Amino acid sequence: MSNETTVVGRGTGAGETHRVRGLVNLVAGIVIVAAVVFGVVAGAGAIWHKVTGTTPAPGATASAAAPATASSAVAVKLEINPPPLGGVKGAGGVVQDAFVPGSFTMTVGQTYDITMYNYDTQSHSWMSPDLNVSVVAPAGSASSPSVTHFTLKPTKAGQIQWFCALPCDKTAMATNGFMRGYVTVKA
């Protein structure tokens, strides 16, 4: 008895399920077709974008070849607490931690090969987010400075701040020309 009721119930349910399933299949079919069409269009768009993005214009090829014959990197010597003072005299004649030079003039597009000598017995760093540089100068000594190389290439003109990002001489860290300063980049 309970079996028969179950069969009737199942039959009715099967009919409804069939209609619903038909609708689901129709919707699914539309979604799949739409997805395929969209995928093909998007794929073609991506390929087109890639091709146009990597195809150099005749003018671009000519200008890209120019830097190869341009002047090479300019060497810059950067010293931290150089002898004989072991720093630079600040306010009141007190010798403060300092990078020498503390300010620079550079040119857009020129590469600078910087050699940093640290005569201090603690580390410092030369950091400038706008120049995309963050370099640590490990501790050295007055007789044997640590030597660190890095390059930078300014991409835009302006007054750009640099600073030592490691905790050191508080006054120097707050004073331009000591543990912070500016790079004047000319076009």
Interface residues toward Cu ion, by CB under 5 A: 124, 164, 168, 179
Cα–chain-centroid distance for residue 66? 26
Q: Which is nearer to Cu ion, 160 or 175 (CB)?
A: 175
Q: What's the Cα-to-Cα distance from 173 to each of 99, 102, 124, 125, 162, rounded to whole Å?
A: 11, 12, 11, 11, 11
On whether the CB atoms of residues 78 and 118 are closer than 8 A, the answer is no
We find the least distance from the C-beta atom of residue 119 to Cu ion, in angstroms, to be 12
Q: Which is nearer to Cu ion, 104 or 178 (CB)?
A: 178
Helix/strand/coil for 63:
helix
We find the least distance from the C-beta atom of residue 137 to Cu ion, in angstroms, to be 8
Q: Which is nearer to Cu ion, 98 or 152 (CB)?
A: 98
Q: Which is nearer to Cu ion, 76 or 139 (CB)?
A: 139
We find the least distance from the C-beta atom of residue 172 to Cu ion, in angstroms, to be 7
Q: To 5 degrees, how large is the angle CA 75–CA 82–CA 153?
A: 25
CA distance 60 to 149: 32
The closest of 91, 78, 95, 84 to 162, measured between CA atoms, is 78
We find the least distance from the C-beta atom of residue 117 to Cu ion, in angstroms, to be 14
Q: Which is nearer to Cu ion, 168 or 185 (CB)?
A: 168
We find the least distance from the C-beta atom of residue 98 to Cu ion, in angstroms, to be 9
